[in-house]
Amino acid sequence: MENLSQWLTDFLSYIRAERRLAENTFLAYRSDLKKFINYCQKKKILLSEITAEQINSFLLEEKFSSHLRGSSLYRLIESIRQFFAFLVSEEYLNDRPDLTIDVPRLVRFQPETLSVEEVRRLLESVPTHTATGRRFRAMLELLYATGLRVSELINLPESAVNLSAGFCRVKGKGNKERIVPLGQTARNFLLRHLELQKKKYPDSPYLFVGKFGRPITRVAFWKQLKNHLRRIGINKPITPHTLRHSFATHLLSGGADLRAVQEMLGHSSLATTQIYTHPDRHYLKKQHQKFHPHG
């Protein structure tokens, strides 16, 4: 008899204790797999006998009933794959079922990015005659220079940044540490920012201090970015995460190695980084005009 509830509990205990996943990732796994198990119980499907067609039916049902985006569906697939891998490794199941899932039928997630010119306009239009302006410019420069997640940026201690050597040490998802290079432009603006911040908060360990000597909050940074975008007339749906997407896309468009970008972004899977390898539309248009008879 398959005890699906107990299997799920064991799997969740495993990923929390041994894989040290971030809380949001853990909750996503739990939510995804609860839906999957409820579906199997409702349809009276045994995991030891499940087929790829049955998994596809579940995914398509979720796609249309929950209006899931492509990125959420890919996460759902990965949750199921990891769950079955655990069940086989712990010998709850003898063999992993056929998981040849019909991925092309799912919507592919394409991250919103800025062009190089839009990034330049965004950065250079920030007024830096005040401490707040210097901090904001330094934060934007650091985001674009390193591809940090916003949560990583706002919690970054000053000790994690080595300005003379040009790198920062980041603790990302699952408490995993990585080293990310830091360009000269970002270093210059960080120095200018710290010059003023140290006068007001000499004992603060944080790189970016907000009110009352505490780290600046995600909401405060997002509001500052939103107001700035409105002021300079950029109407794209941009979030702080857009600079992370732009960092990765511009590196790969310039010829950077995919695995190097994976390391800098802190992705555990190369497949996650591959979403940034979508073709450059301007390059495709030039190629079409150059080589097509009616280009």
In this structure, what DSSP letter does residue 278 have? P
- pLDDT, greater one: 134 or 151: 134
- Give, in order, the Cα–Cα distances in Å from 83 to each of 18, 97, 140, 219, 271: 14, 11, 38, 34, 18
Mean residue pLDDT of the chain comes to 84
220 Cβ contact partners less than 8 Å away, ≥ 6 residues apart: 210
Cα–Cα distance, 136 to 129 (Å, whole number): 11
Global pTM value? 0.62
Tell me the mean pLDDT in the region 183-191.
Answer: 96
- Give, in order, the Cα–Cα distances in Å from 272 to each of 5, 71, 150, 214, 265: 29, 10, 18, 33, 10
Q: Please give the pLDDT value at position 1.
A: 64
DSSP assignment string, 203-243: T--BSSB-GGGSBPPHHHHHHHHHHHHHHHT--S---HHHH
Tens of pLDDT along 259-286? 899 999 988 777 778 777 765 555 555 5
How buried is residue 266: exposed, middle or buried, by Cβ count under 10 Å (0-12/13-18/19+)? buried
Q: Highest mean pLDDT range out of 91-100, 124-133, 255-264, 283-292?
A: 124-133
Say if residues 25 and 175 touch (Cβ distance below 8 Å): no
One-letter amino acid at 280 equals: D
Tens of pLDDT along 60-88? 888 777 777 666 777 888 889 889 888 88
- Domains in the chain with CATH codes: 4-105 (1.10.150.130), 116-281 (1.10.443.10)
In this structure, what DSSP letter does residue 171 have? E
291 band by pLDDT with thresholds 50, 70 and 90: low
Q: Which tokens in the block code for residue 83?
A: 């769950």
Catalogue the active-site residues: 149, 173, 241, 244, 267, 276
Cα–Cα distance, 191 to 274 (Å, whole number): 34
